[in-house]
Amino acid sequence: MQTLAGTCPVTEKSGKSKTIHFRWACDHEFRDIAQKWARSSLRDSGWATSYYGQHMARAESKSQACRSLANRWLAILWHLWQTRQPYDEEHHLHDATERMRPRR
């Protein structure tokens, strides 16, 4: 889904070289919708605002940070579709905290 929306980058490897660049071959309307969804989530979602801020702190462009957030939202949407569950921000934050916790 992320490839179709054009939110994930293209990685090309050849021998010892590796390049990562913007994905041009995608459904441009779907990319526009995904990015608008990501931008609108900044008003209501604390983790989305934090995620966007982290990408902006890395001196990325606004559109790159927005694509990264849209890519994250599409991953969440895909998981919800596969598990047939509704989105719950508290559940998402709990899972994200668990992933960040060091393993023993």
pLDDT tens across 33-83, in order?
A: 888 999 999 999 988 998 899 888 987 788 888 888 998 899 998 889 999
Asked whether residue 15 is domain-assigned, the answer is no
Asked whether residue 17 is domain-assigned, the answer is no
Q: Could you give the 3-state DSSP secondary structure of residue 21?
A: strand
Q: Write out the residue range of the structural domain in which residue 95 sits.
A: 28-100
Long-range contacts of the stretch 48-54 (C-beta < 8 A, 24+): 48/72, 48/73
pLDDT confidence of residue 40: 94
Q: Of the candidates 96, 77, 97, which has an alpha carbon nearest to the alpha carbon of residue 87?
A: 77
pLDDT confidence of residue 104: 64
Asked whether residue 34 is domain-assigned, the answer is yes
Asked whether residue 57 is domain-assigned, the answer is yes
Task: Assess whether pLDDT exceeds 80 at residue 92.
Answer: no
Asked whether residue 72 is domain-assigned, the answer is yes
| Under 8 Å between Cβ of 54 and 47 | no
Asked whether residue 58 is domain-assigned, the answer is yes
Strand ranges, E, within 8-90: 10-14, 17-21
CA terminus-to-terminus distance, the chain: 34
Domain count, the chain: 1
